[in-house]
Structure 1
Amino acid sequence: MSPQIAPLAGRREWIGLTVLLLPLLLVSMDVSVLYFAVPFISLDLHPSATQQLWIFDIYGFVLAGLLITMGALGDRIGRRRLLLIGAFAFAATSTAAAYAHTAGALIGARALLGIGGATLMPSTLALVRNMFQQEKQRATAIAIWTAALTSGIALGPILSGFLLERFWWGSVFLINVPFMLLLVVLAPALVPESKHVQGGRFDLPGSVLSLGAVLPVIWGVKELAANGVSARPLAAIGVGVLLGAGFVWRQRAAAYPMLDLALFRRPAFGGAIAVSVIAMFGLVGFAIFTTQFLQSVLDMTPLKAALWSLAPSLVVGGAAPGAAALAQRGVRKAHLVCGGFLIALVGFAALQLVKATSPLWLLLVCAMLYAVGLVVVMSLGTEMIVGAVPVEQAGAASAVSETGTEFGGALGMALLGSLGAAVYRHEVPVPAGLEDSAGTIRETLAGAAAVARTLPGPAAHDLLTSAKAAFSTGMHAAAFGAVAVMALGAVIALIALRRVPQVAADPAPAAAPAELDLVA
């Protein structure tokens, strides 16, 4: 009996993909959309320093903590159904955030917004896996999905700056509402429903353990990045690891586990998650340096810096589709992923040439190189993850992939950020007579700039020049650390993905798998 051939997607599926990009763009933009809005929120709501941090972080914490739960839930109740529920929730909580009158209300709305986002992200990728079952088409669709995800993160500050020049701070949340309503109208007509009919009872204890494992680890890593090594974040990470072990034990023992742990024995799954985590480590972990270099070293306004940061996107946008096309031409994915890491390595290594007095184009070329390489890795990694699992487990697999990238980004900020900050503190000189301001000067480049504004012209110039040079040295150290991690990623790709087969053509379309409940 010949093996069943995957069905080909048609026009409806490709139009449906564009519909699925709506929630993906908005959820990824909401990670970065507050960058410019915080000063306006502070003037209006007067949050404490702790509340301001929670306004920023609570969305990402809740989102990361619930991804696995929502992915498994979508597999059971239907991914499109969960997507529509999430769209309503995202629209409602965006409205609540826009009209929040206190800092506490905004924190609560951002937490609820994270719940809505957690329903949307794994659902979109799982539905893409269901709609595009032929391998070549799926690779192209996921390349587009990856490009939309990275574009959303980059566009968040741009959209925020544009809206804040014309409207009040709540507009950065309210912009979500019309797009979510559009999703609710279009998805039922263009996106087919899919679920695992025999998914069994939902594993509530496993859900609690997954939330308890992910949340303290992500929080602990971000705290280490922001405030350095201390007992509380280390204890939180330890608790998360213990609860993670409990989650693994639960998945082994449960009659209907949220996640089939046997998937991790597949090289295309476990290896792809590993390289995706490393890619996000470099991409997110280094973003703070390029952003600060544009704003604090080159003295750009936030909006101008955000617009210039989009310049590499003209090339980066073609990286994911280009990698998918090469894979379809028979280039092994292990070699492509390794090549992506090596391109990123060259980009990070070239950052050693960037000084405070360097031309802007040099920084942008370096950023373009490492972003191209890492987007190639992320695109191929995501495609291998969802392609390695049965369609009925696509939601849980998508959630694991996205949880891994959240963890990789947080770890990158912690390790690369801490390395750069440590070198900056060591290198920046404190001028004579400013010993009382030494802590502020050594804390950040922005702190040194604040002190410089209180000094007469020549003294201010000397302090800023030395602080910018120290920041550049810290950036070089972080880039050197990223080079080492990219080299490790290249080696892991060659070893862990060596058994992943080349893309094989599906000669003819076939019917959808019988075990799925497909509703037009």
Structure 2
Amino acid sequence: MTRTRQAAPRTTTRGATAPHAITPRAGEQARRALTVAAVGTVLALVAFTAPLATVGSVTAALGSDVAGRTWILSSMGIGLGAALLTAGTLADDRGRRRVLVGGLVVLAASSLVAALAGGTLVFVLARVGQGIGAAAVIAASLGLVAHWFEPGPARAAASGVWGASVGGGIALGPIVASAFERWASWRDTYVVLAVAALVLAAVARRRLDETRSHERRPLDALGATLLAVATTGFLAALVEGRSGWGRPEVLVLLGVGAVSAAAFVVTERRTSFPMVDLSLFRDGRFVAASAAALATGAGAIGLLSFLPGFLALALGLPPTTSAVLFLSWSGTSVVFALVARRLPAGWSGRAQLAGGLVVVAAGQLALSGITPGSSWARFLPGLVVAGVGSGVLNAALGREAVASVPPGRGGMGSGANNTARYLGSSVGVTLVAVVVAAHAVPGSGASGLVAGWNVAAWVTAGLSLVGAVVVWATTVTDRRRAADAVADPVH
């Protein structure tokens, strides 16, 4: 039986509050919310990963150069990074259903623009718009899960479903895009995505009750603006930096990002209603969840986002084969996100985060040692192992993101955690591209690409292990603080 939160009242679409008792109505709303949250997250991640399999066709149709290709692959991440935390805060304060529906509409409109784009600039701007819409969907969806499912087995199961939807979207994106490319057009991927997002928005608007935090706070507009400028400047610098880190535009973007980030910290310390309470960074559980999300992005997503392109360039595999091989990682993560709730009860959330990162690192190491003559089967063991770790991570991250923040701020927790994940992925993708490019010198052919891939696998495995160490360190620190508090109760 679905169990919903009992203590906190919920706000209905009419603004009235009612007890969050276990009633047939509440149970039905919980199931609807989880379904909409999962499907919405799948759509957001399909949009995110679709170009991985079709970037060649897209760049050819749009007449994109090398820089344009880079922006096509990276631009949605900029929209995500810039909007996730703000979207999560708005979801808590203004209404989770409202933000979710708005995000789906933005995702649909941007997808339609992408389908009709005649040039690189329009397509890139549409991808940024997709990122903004997807940010609202992802942040609000996890906020809905936190609201409707009480801590314990019910939330663990729901978080597993949400985590599986992350892996499912990542898995489906390249497969759906390559299928449309083969039998129709890459543009049809975005048309179908737009229609699906609009249908889901209509369902959510009609079938879900509105929910929000009981403490409605004013929007921290200055903080939201500074955060958006900081993340956009930083992520744009990472994209442009691949063409030369010393160029003036890259240095300006880095400077804008750094100054805006510093101003954001100052603003959040002084405002009465900060978008994110900086004191959370003294909480071991919040730091662990954020560090694990950052390491997940930089490690697993950073390396494996490069996989479809590497398979095509170095081994000559067609996009459809690459997409199916990609499924051995993302599909495995779906399965293990769903079964993660069956892990021993004694395994804390932080233990699952650290363990998941270690397993991912083992899979990444198994993906090294590739030669130009390697077959596609050589990648399977490492991808499956990495998928096991990613599944456990996706479920645990969803749960810890909302458990590490105050009650009623699940959207903010989701936004902060996923911001860390997508900032990490941007760093990881850039790092992998730089490492591979350093080895793939002119004339090196496939051997240069393979050598770069092998080094990148080791580097990103190291990032995953660093994340595991940070998570473990927060546990040790918290235990020491607790022991000190017992030994010296006066202070």
Q: TM-score, normalised to structure 2's length?
A: 0.85
For residue 129 of structure 1, report the CA deviation from its aligned partner.
1.0
Corresponding residue number in structure 2 for 1:174: 191
User: Are residue 494 (structure 1) and residue 485 (structure 2) matched?
Assistant: no
Q: Indicate if the aligned counterparts of 1:278 and 1:408 stay in contact, CA closer than 8 A.
A: yes
What SS does the aligned partner of 1:392 have?
coil
In structure 2, which of residues 74, 97, 112 is the aligned counterpart of residue 57 of structure 1?
Answer: 74
1:270-349 superposed matches below 5 A: 270-326=287-343, 329-349=345-365
Corresponding residue number in structure 1 for 2:222: 205
In structure 2, the CA distance between the partners of 1:349 and 1:99, relative to structure 1 (3 Å rule), is closer
In structure 2, the CA distance between the partners of 1:195 and 1:99, relative to structure 1 (3 Å rule), is same
In structure 1, which of residues 390, 394, 397 is the aligned counterpart of residue 406 of structure 2?
Answer: 390
Corresponding residue number in structure 2 for 1:462: none
Corresponding residue number in structure 2 for 1:409: 425
Q: Indicate if the aligned counterparts of 1:67 and 1:402 stay in contact, CA closer than 8 A.
A: yes
Q: Indicate if the aligned counterparts of 2:68 and 2:120 stay in contact, CA closer than 8 A.
A: yes
> How many Å separate the matches in 2 of 1:362 and 1:40?
27
1:18-417 superposed matches below 5 A: 18-42=35-59, 44-47=61-64, 50-224=67-241, 226-231=242-247, 232-326=249-343, 329-417=345-433
For residue 293 of structure 1, report the CA deviation from its aligned partner.
4.3
Give structure 2 stretches of 5+ with no counterpart.
1-5, 9-19, 480-491
Corresponding residue number in structure 2 for 1:485: 463
Corresponding residue number in structure 2 for 1:423: 439
Q: Indicate if the aligned counterparts of 1:97 and 1:106 stay in contact, CA closer than 8 A.
A: yes
Offset from partner CA, 1:305-335 (integer Å, 9 cap, x none):
11122134453322223333215x2223333
Name the amino acid aligned to 1:385: A
Offset from partner CA, 1:331-381 (integer Å, 9 cap, x none):
233333232222223222223443333343331111221232233234313
In structure 2, the CA distance between the partners of 1:315 and 1:102, relative to structure 1 (3 Å rule), is closer
> How many Å separate the matches in 2 of 1:199 and 1:24?
26
> How many Å separate the matches in 1 of 2:338 and 2:105?
31
Give structure 1 stretches of 5+ with no counterpart.
426-438, 443-466, 502-520
Q: Indicate if the aligned counterparts of 1:356 and 1:472 stay in contact, CA closer than 8 A.
A: yes
For residue 61 of structure 1, report the CA deviation from its aligned partner.
1.3
Higher mean alpha-carbon deviation, 376-385 vs 201-210, is at 376-385
What SS does the aligned partner of 1:358 have?
coil
Larger radius of gyration: 1
Offset from partner CA, 1:486-505 (integer Å, 9 cap, x none):
3322222222135789xxxx
Corresponding residue number in structure 1 for 2:485: none
> How many Å separate the matches in 2 of 1:238 and 1:7?
51
For residue 214 of structure 1, report the CA deviation from its aligned partner.
0.8
Corresponding residue number in structure 2 for 1:432: none
> How many Å separate the matches in 2 of 1:83 and 1:405?
20
Q: Indicate if the aligned counterparts of 2:161 and 2:337 stay in contact, CA closer than 8 A.
A: yes
In structure 2, the CA distance between the partners of 1:490 and 1:190, relative to structure 1 (3 Å rule), is same
Number of equivalent positions: 459
What SS does the aligned partner of 1:192 have?
coil
In structure 2, the CA distance between the partners of 1:259 and 1:295, relative to structure 1 (3 Å rule), is same
Q: Indicate if the aligned counterparts of 2:30 and 2:148 stay in contact, CA closer than 8 A.
A: yes
> How many Å separate the matches in 1 of 2:185 and 2:377?
34
Offset from partner CA, 1:242-272 (integer Å, 9 cap, x none):
2112111111111222112222222111111
> How many Å separate the matches in 1 of 2:308 and 2:329?
13
For residue 103 of structure 1, report the CA deviation from its aligned partner.
4.2
> How many Å separate the matches in 2 of 1:258 and 1:165?
45
Q: Indicate if the aligned counterparts of 1:199 and 1:256 stay in contact, CA closer than 8 A.
A: no
Offset from partner CA, 1:227-255 (integer Å, 9 cap, x none):
35324434423431221121111111112
Q: Indicate if the aligned counterparts of 1:222 and 1:411 stay in contact, CA closer than 8 A.
A: no
> How many Å separate the matches in 1 of 2:250 and 2:21?
48
In structure 2, the CA distance between the partners of 1:278 and 1:50, relative to structure 1 (3 Å rule), is closer
For residue 26 of structure 1, report the CA deviation from its aligned partner.
1.5
> How many Å separate the matches in 2 of 1:290 and 1:66?
27
Corresponding residue number in structure 1 for 2:31: 14
1:395-474 superposed matches below 5 A: 395-425=411-441, 439=442, 441=443, 467-474=445-452
Name the amino acid aligned to 2:366: A
Q: Between the two proteins, what is the percent identity of the paired residues?
A: 26
CA RMSD of aligned residues (A): 2.7
In structure 2, the CA distance between the partners of 1:93 and 1:487, relative to structure 1 (3 Å rule), is closer
What SS does the aligned partner of 2:161 have?
helix
